[in-house]
Chain A
């Protein structure tokens, strides 16, 4: 079962920044500048962390994972917004 995470990053170099952004796109939704919301199972979490570990510079950059709870429980209800409304991602098949 999946767990919801807020992933934020501070990356000092534009090339690495693009790489981090591209990796994260595969795993979650771009919520704000340098902030993603990802729903990950145990395997995906490990996979994502391993990919990010390769993409960042360990002395200059930082990526934070904030666990906000099970994706279909607290993780789905724990975000509140001020200003532009926060719309949870709809769970549905993609039909083009």
Chain B
């Protein structure tokens, strides 16, 4: 819950003190403040602002409200009266005689007595029972429809009410329908930014609310509240204190080789959603669901490759575009995952065969690409593509983990030791429009040039400086604001991936009928 104002935070700070408050101390009449009471039997916990005791042994809970007293015959609205009803029930449960309750409205400096009768207490008991039932269900209640309440709700980024409702209704979206313009209730981009540490030997510690990275030549500081994620490349040291602070703040940390190969991820215990994990495992065990998702991933990948060529290749042959179109159609109708692999391979050959045509200026003269190869990449373009894919895979692993999904369990890519199969699944549709686009921009704008590559007998690698520049180019792309192809609002690519990961979760939980492909026009 977002803290509405600081009084709430203060009250949590003071909780330790409040726990010791007890009604029975002191001479009567007495007053106890911030009294915490809970009862298993009632299923309730409350912090009571003030409890007043009187000579005859009975007590009265008093609730402070900042606002003015409303002009209603009962003295206060139902939610407030129910709150006091609950406090009365708790006090009685703990053995106090309690037949009255008051609200103090600071706005009008009035203390109002609330009638405590059986109707109110029954209402409270019923409400508690309803909430309990709701909590015990595994599926979420559907989000509100077009509700003004959502604006400002702290769960907005997780709940995605308008997005989910749109996808629940539109069972089949026409292929080229214009994106529906939804209210964008969550921020267009993440306020926080990642920290990458690639310098060998750098040591990361923590000082106050800052991470301190000590390199050979300089010290860099990163504010924790400003950090979304930490990526450690190669031989970088991090202190236990720093790791613990990162876990506490829910900032995930990924460990990679100096070349960007993904080893793993450390995260706090915050966000695991067990029901979602179970739904994911069930879906992965169901061949029909696997096929449905695999088709969506591969079709979108082929269509997005086609879009890249159409946009960036001046002399693209119509026959190439046509062939990709045909392959995408076949992928959408494919009945077996094995045939999808074949279609994907063919499409990749066609696409990478034309890839060099998207290079411009100096880059077009210097670089060539003879199909896709890796481990080790044999030419500069492939070396860049490998790093860009590894970076995107890491990005998606984090997004999926944050959405409560298991990045290792995929639907199209089969699980294999240490392979983030689900991240690779989701990456299919995004490779062309994010990773390839980053590589092309870097080459076409001269951010990376011929002198940035080291040629070995077995292959080609990037200099450390060029690697940093490519990471920066990737970051710029992730932070770039674009129109969401399905929802029509402006968001950064990174936010778009987060939304996409959550929607995949919604699909797995059966709340939306299809997984929405991301296909920029």
CA–CA, A26 to B198, complex, Å?
23
> Interface majority SS on A: helix, strand, loop or mixed?
mixed
Chain A 54-96 interface 0/1 with B at a Cβ cutoff of 8 Å (1 = within): 0000000000000000010000000000000000000111111
Give chain A's interface residue range (CB within 8 Å of chain B).
20 to 34
Chain B, residues 189-205, CB within 8 Å of chain A (1/0): the string is: 00101111111001000
Counting chain B residues whose Cβ lies within 8 A of the other chain, the interface size class is 35 or more
Q: Knowing A26-B223, A27-B209, say if A96 contacts B5 (CB, 8 Å).
A: no
When C-beta atoms are compared, the residue in chain B nearest to A26 turns out to be B209
CB closest chain-A residue, reference B197? A96
A32 to chain B, nearest CB (A): 18
Judge whether B195 and A93 touch: CB under 8 Å.
yes
Complex interface residues of chain B between 214 and 237 (CB less than 8 A to chain A): 215, 220-225
A10-37 near B? 1/0 per residue, CB < 8 Å: 0000000000001101111000000000
Say whether B6 contacts A50, CB under 8 Å.
yes
User: Contacts of A50 on B, CB cut-off 8 Å?
Assistant: 6, 9-10, 13
Chain B: minimal CB distance from A46 (Å): 5
Q: Which residues from A are CB-within-8-Å of B198? A: 95-96
Residues of A contacting B475 in the complex (Cβ-Cβ under 8 angstroms): 92-93, 95
Q: How far is the CB of A83 from chain B (nearest CB, A)?
A: 26
Does B468 make an interface contact (CB < 8 A)?
yes
Q: Tell me if B93 counts as interface (CB < 8 A to partner A).
A: no
Instruction: Tell me whether B2 and A94 are in contact (CB under 8 A).
Output: no
Cβ-neighbour of B2 out of A23, A42, A95, A96 (below 8 A)? A42
Across the interface, which residues of A come within 8 angstroms of B209, CB to CB?
22-23, 25-27
By a CB distance below 8 angstroms, the chain B residues around A94 are: 193-196, 220, 222
Q: Which residues of B contact A25 (CB under 8 A)?
A: 208-210, 221, 223
* Cβ of B145 to closest chain A Cβ, rounded Å: 24
B193 touches A96 (CB 8 A): no
| Contact, CB under 8 Å: B208 / A22 | yes
Asked if B471 CB lies within 8 Å of chain A CBs, one says: yes
Extra A-B contacts (14), CB below 8 Å, given A28-B223, A95-B471, A95-B475: A25-B209, A26-B208, A26-B209, A26-B223, A39-B191, A42-B3, A46-B6, A46-B9, A50-B10, A92-B476, A93-B475, A94-B194, A96-B195, A96-B196
Residues of B within 8 A of A (CB): 2-3, 5-6, 8-10, 13, 187, 191, 193-199, 202, 207-210, 213, 215, 220-225, 468, 471-472, 475-476, 479
**A residues apposed to B, CB below 8 Å:** 1-2, 22-23, 25-28, 39, 41-44, 46-47, 49-50, 71, 91-96
9 chain-A/chain-B pairs, Cβ below 8 angstroms:
A22-B207, A50-B6, A92-B472, A92-B475, A93-B195, A94-B193, A95-B195, A95-B196, A96-B202
